[in-house]
């Protein structure tokens, strides 16, 4: 059996996934296909001297072995390869299986019936296309099946974090299908809120995905490992590195916009209260954020040992005469520089500027059960509706974790 060749973590993962597939009556033929792909994955992992399963390992395996990117349009022959890896990824993240069965095969629990029937009556009556009606049912019933697997039996028990975790299970659908599923769930929870069936508007927890001429405009999110590699790539022994490290931390930990980093003034650093107070360039509103310990250490290191000794009201300066504040392009180039130096793989179309770090923070906050209203305050939005639209999450990197970064030297 292939399980005996796997590292311990992956052994348990495959055993759990196999049990769940059997429970959902997947055929032995399908199970054998999945196991064949899992065996190839383990051989790949061993060649890389990797001992445990991870999302990054799965993505690198698909990319390097089959030249596939999850979430892009696939040839029919590649569906099984991606699906096999998604099974493991979902168990790694959620200990669940994303059902891809027709909705008619799933029995709707009685506890959801009133809410579902009310929503479907309104939606289906206004959908002229049979395919659209089928799609609505498919999207909704798959979500309810997921809730059932999580032992959630009442819609009143659903939290933003439950929704966020479910969205992770859609990773390997094509982007148009992802957008459709997001739209249906957003309308469903908006219906529950306006009908008085839910005490909070959970539709705000569901990202808005824009489809442009070149595909889906889904802002980019980076993993904990990638962001730590980015920070480690900074040479903090030289003045420019001290400046860049402080800038990156402010973007990663507090989500400051490029315009606010560029215009951050010395007077905005309220050391006596350990706060940053500034007027946002985009909104004109006051933003008040904590100077976290690691950010304070990095700022002090830069101000004492790196910043040019010139009279200027701005915190971050160019390090060539004339020592003025950084340009917008210069700021973005800082992030791009360290993504390159860290040798972080950036798929085509994935952004890698400072704003991607802001998106990563938003995703991390939501996953760690931070209320939408608090995220709005941190990101400097005027209201939580803006945040609901803002959290357009890169579906390849939905799971981001809290970062522990080393303090700058005194």
CATH of the domain at 286: 1.10.443.10
* Domain boundary residue, one of 162, 180, 213: 213
What is the per-residue pLDDT for 288? 85
**10-residue block means of pLDDT along the chain (410 residues)?**
45 77 80 88 84 80 82 73 81 65 56 82 64 77 83 86 82 73 89 87 77 47 77 93 92 83 93 90 81 91 94 92 85 85 74 65 54 53 44 38 40
Domain that holds residue 160: 103-213
* Domain boundary residue, one of 45, 75, 94: 94
Q: Is residue 362 part of a domain?
A: yes
Same domain, residue pair 352 and 379: yes
What angle (nearest 5°) sits at the alpha carbon of residue 61, between those of residues 57 and 66?
160
Same domain, residue pair 207 and 167: yes
CA gyration radius, the chain: 23
Q: What CATH number is associated with residue 197?
A: 1.10.150.130
Same domain, residue pair 183 and 329: no
Q: Alpha-carbon distance 171 to 366, whole Å?
A: 17
Q: Does pTM surpass 0.85?
A: no
Convert the chain into a string of H (helix), E (strand) and C (coil).
CHHHHCCHHHHHHHHHHHHHHHHCCCCHHHHHHHHHHHHHHHHHHHHCCCCCCCHHHHHHHHHHHHCCCCCCCCCHHHHHHHHHHHHHHHHHHHCCCCCCCCHHHCCCCHHHHHHHHHHHHHHHHCCCCHHHHHHHHHHHHHHHHHHHHCCCCCHHHCCHHHHHHHHHCCCCCCHHHHHHHHHHHHHHHHHHHHCCCCCCCHHHHCCCCEEECCEEECCCCCCHHHHHHHHHCCCCCCHHHHHHHHHHHHHHHHCCCHHHHHCCEHHHEECCCCEEEEECCCCCCEEEEECCHHHHHHHHHHHHHCCCCCCCCECCECCCCCCCECCHHHHHHHHHHHHHHCCCCCCCCCCCCHHHHHHHHHHHHHHCCCCHHHHHHHHCCCCHHHHHHHCCCCCCCCCCCCCCCCCCCC
Q: Is residue 142 part of a domain?
A: yes
Domain count along the chain: 3
Same domain, residue pair 166 and 197: yes
* Domain boundary residue, one of 155, 190, 213: 213
Q: Is residue 218 part of a domain?
A: no
Same domain, residue pair 52 and 119: no
**Distance between start and end Cα atoms, the chain:** 55
Q: Is residue 404 part of a domain?
A: no
Question: Do residues 378 and 289 make contact, with C-beta atoms less than 8 angstroms apart?
Answer: yes
Q: Is residue 408 part of a domain?
A: no
Same domain, residue pair 232 and 185: no
Same domain, residue pair 248 and 319: yes
Q: Is residue 396 part of a domain?
A: no
Q: Is residue 37 part of a domain?
A: yes
Q: Is residue 54 part of a domain?
A: yes
């Amino acid at each position: 059996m292939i399980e005996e060749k796997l590292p311990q973590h992956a052994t348990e993962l495959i055993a759990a996934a196999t049990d769940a597939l059997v429970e959902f009556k997947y055929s032995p033929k399908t199970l054998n296909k999945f196991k064949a792909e899992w065996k190839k994955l383990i051989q790949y992992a061993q060649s890389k001297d990797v001992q445990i399963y991870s999302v990054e390992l799965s993505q690198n395996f698909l990319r390097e072995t089959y030249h596939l990117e999850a979430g892009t349009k696939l040839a029919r022959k590649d569906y099984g390869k991606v699906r096999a890896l998604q099974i493991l990824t979902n168990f790694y993240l959620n200990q669940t299986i994303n059902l891809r069965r027709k909705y008619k095969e799933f029995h709707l629990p009685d506890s959801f019936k009133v809410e579902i029937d009310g929503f479907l009556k309104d939606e289906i009556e206004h959908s002229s296309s049979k395919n659209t009606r089928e799609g609505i049912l498919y999207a909704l019933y798959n979500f309810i099946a997921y809730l059932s697997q999580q032992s959630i039996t009442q819609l009143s028990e659903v939290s933003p974090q439950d929704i966020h975790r479910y969205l992770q299970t859609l990773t390997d659908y094509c982007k148009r299908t992802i957008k459709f599923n997001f739209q249906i769930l957003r309308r469903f929870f908006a219906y529950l809120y306006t009908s008085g069936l839910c005490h909070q508007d959970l539709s705000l927890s569901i990202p808005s995905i824009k489809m442009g001429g070149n595909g889906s405009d889904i802002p980019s999110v980076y993993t904990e490992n990638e962001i730590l590699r980015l920070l480690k790539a900074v040479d903090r022994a030289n003045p420019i590195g001290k400046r860049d490290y402080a800038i990156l931390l402010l973007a990663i930990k507090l989500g400051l916009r490029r315009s606010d980093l560029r215009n951050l003034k010395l007077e905005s650093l309220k050391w006596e209260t350990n706060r940053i107070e500034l007027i946002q360039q985009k909104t004109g509103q006051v933003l008040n954020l904590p100077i976290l310990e690691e950010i304070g250490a990095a700022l002090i290191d830069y101000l004492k040992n790196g910043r040019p000794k010139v009279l200027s009201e701005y915190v971050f300066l160019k390090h060539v005469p004339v020592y003025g504040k950084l340009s917008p392009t210069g700021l973005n180039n800082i992030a791009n520089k360290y993504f390159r130096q860290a040798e972080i793989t950036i798929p085509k179309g994935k952004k890698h500027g400072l704003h991607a770090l802001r998106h990563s923070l938003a995703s991390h906050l939501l996953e760690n059960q931070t209320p939408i209203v608090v995220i709005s305050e941190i990101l400097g939005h005027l209201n939580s509706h803006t945040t609901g639209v803002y959290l357009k999450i890169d579906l390849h990197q939905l799971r981001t974790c809290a970062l522990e970064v080393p303090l700058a030297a005194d």
